[in-house]
Amino acid sequence: MKRVVITGVGVITPVGCDADTFWNSLKNGKNGIDEITRFDTTDYRVKLAAEVKDFDPTQYMPKLEAKKTDKFVQYAVAAATQAVQDSGITDNVDPFKFGVYYGSGVGGFETFTDEHTNLINRGPNRVSPQFIPKMIPNMAAGTLAIKFGAKGPCICVSTACATGTTAIGEAYRAIKAGYADAIIAGGVDSAITPLAVAAFTNCMALTESTDKDRASIPFDKERSGFVMGEGAGALIVEEYEHAVARGAKIYAEVSGYGSTCDAHHVTAPDSSAVGSGKAISDCFDEGTANIRPEEIYFNAHGTSTPLNDKTETQALKNAFGDNAYKINVSSTKSMTGHLLGAAGAVEAIAAIYALNEGIVPPTIGYSVSDEECDLNYTPNTAKETNLELAMSASLGFGGHNACVAFKKVK
């Protein structure tokens, strides 16, 4: 089996639209949550979101193309362009060995609702001919393949909030088995819209807090739901020898991947955490040896919902036993909100930066301890420490569990 490494990264997030700005925001505890500006929230119980600010799609595509493209594809193109440029991969890879494993939890939600409004208010002849190619979830992956000439495997991953992590993990497996030399992997979502916010509110998923500093508070006893975020993350996943041969910068080696399903409930995680714990332990056990728990950073899914955080705490205990108390854990969703299908990719990049700099980003806003969430969540302030392994886990609606691990290249 081949070794697999990360050679490029790119992000669009509420706390930064490039990887360095994003990482500096995280380690300094910058909060990207604020009042919703995309629509009038007068009649809404939810008032807060984590919106991407100061994003200009024409930095990454022509103005006419941007007009024909949903925001979720714009974000994906931006993040992937950063990652491709960071890696220098396109001039150094066989197009038929260059793939895309990229996904979205909900696809072009904004386009879907806009065109439905057109249908109701203006009639069927006024629905845009661009509706379908703007809306379908695979269009992010397809657009990236077209833009970068990736003629190898092109797969749209959609495992709800586990999408980004699943995409990275499956890309890792494909390269490890020799099916590709390099893959653009990641996830994207942009769904801060009236319909999506109303729907998530009514299924009891979103917090109704109006205090932006006490809204997304993972593992805190007063947590009451997640904050809707948006963005994209992209990583260049590459075969090690291929990367070395072209003199690529290597961020980290992918050392493991775990993927399971709770097979339990469409929205609620299985509180026994058997499935999620196995995804974590499978990921850790693959290619990991002689690493002490104190040298591990675990970027938790940490959504700030009562069930998720309690279940994920139990999953860590199932996977690591008493050593779970020694692991450095944090949830960067305390700063970015929940980026849905983008979360896993963005958080994997945070984990890689943490590994390389020896800095555990904080869980900000943490104030009230919970006896059912009793691990080391790195409250409020970043921690400097030696790290040898970084892990990132995601748990999605439908029971999807995914976890990826990264180690330093030696």
* Structural contact between residues 392 and 255, judged by C-beta atoms closer than 8 angstroms: no
Can you give the pLDDT at residue 391?
98
Tokens of 127: 């629905």
Q: Which residue has the higher pLDDT, 382 or 90?
A: 382
Which of 306, 331, 300, 299 has the alpha carbon at shortest distance from 221?
A: 306
In a 10 Å sphere around its CB, with 0-12 CB exposed, 13-18 middle and 19+ buried, how is residue 118 labelled?
A: middle
Catalytic annotation present for 265: no
Can you give the pLDDT at residue 133?
93
Mean pLDDT of 147-155: 98
Q: In this structure, are strands 328-330 and 296-299 parallel, antiparallel, or unpaired?
A: parallel
Amino acid at 378: T
Q: Which residues contact 114 (CB under 8 A, 6 or more apart)?
A: none
Can you give the pLDDT at residue 393?
98
Can you give the pLDDT at residue 410?
83
The rounded distance, in Å, linking the Cα atoms of 385 and 297 is 10
Mean pLDDT of 65-93: 96
Can you give the pLDDT at residue 18?
98
Whether the per-residue pLDDT at 306 is higher than 80: the answer is yes
Catalytic annotation present for 261: no
Beta bridge partners of 394: 402
Q: Catalytic pick from 154, 156, 242, 338? A: 338
Q: Catalytic pick from 301, 373, 400, 403? A: 301
Which of 405, 390, 313, 350 has the alpha carbon at shortest distance from 32?
A: 350
Can you give the pLDDT at residue 213?
97
With pLDDT > 70 as the criterion, what percentage of the chain qualifies? Answer: 100
Whether the per-residue pLDDT at 91 is higher than 90: the answer is no
Can you give the pLDDT at residue 374?
98
Going by pLDDT thresholds of 50, 70 and 90, the confidence category of residue 157 is very high
Beta bridge partners of 404: 257, 392
Can you give the pLDDT at residue 334?
98
pTM score of the predicted model: 0.97
Report pLDDT digits (tens) over 208-246: 999 999 999 999 999 999 999 999 999 999 999 999 999
Q: Which residues contact 243 (CB under 8 A, 6 or more apart)?
A: 5, 7, 250
Mean pLDDT of 319-327: 97
DSSP E strands, 19-168: 34-35, 48-49, 98-104, 154-157
Can you give the pLDDT at residue 1?
87
Q: What is the DSSP letter of 227?
A: -
Question: DSSP string spanning 167-218?
Answer: HHHHHHHHHHTTS-SEEEEEEEE---SHHHHHHHHHTT-B-----GGGSS-T
Q: Catalytic pick from 17, 156, 161, 283? A: 161
Amino acid at 127: V
Topology of the domain covering 4-245: Peroxisomal Thiolase; Chain A, domain 1 (3.40.47)
Q: In this structure, are strands 98-104 and 182-189 parallel, antiparallel, or unpaired?
A: parallel
Q: What angle do CA 289, 294, 298 make, to 5 degrees?
A: 85
Q: Which residues contact 41 (CB under 8 A, 6 or more apart)?
A: 35, 47, 197
The rounded distance, in Å, linking the Cα atoms of 270 and 259 is 15
The rounded distance, in Å, linking the Cα atoms of 18 and 80 is 11
* Structural contact between residues 279 and 402, judged by C-beta atoms closer than 8 angstroms: yes
Whether the per-residue pLDDT at 289 is higher than 80: the answer is no
The rounded distance, in Å, linking the Cα atoms of 231 and 25 is 15
Whether the per-residue pLDDT at 22 is higher than 80: the answer is yes
Where in the chain are all domains bearing CATH 3.40.47.10?
4-245, 256-407
Report pLDDT digits (tens) over 248-278: 999 999 999 999 999 999 989 999 999 999 9
Can you give the pLDDT at residue 271?
93
Mean pLDDT of 175-196: 98
The CATH code that applies to domain 256-407 is: 3.40.47.10
With pLDDT > 90 as the criterion, what percentage of the chain qualifies? Answer: 97
Q: Which residues contact 310 (CB under 8 A, 6 or more apart)?
A: 271, 370, 372, 373
* Structural contact between residues 201 and 44, judged by C-beta atoms closer than 8 angstroms: yes
The rounded distance, in Å, linking the Cα atoms of 188 and 167 is 11
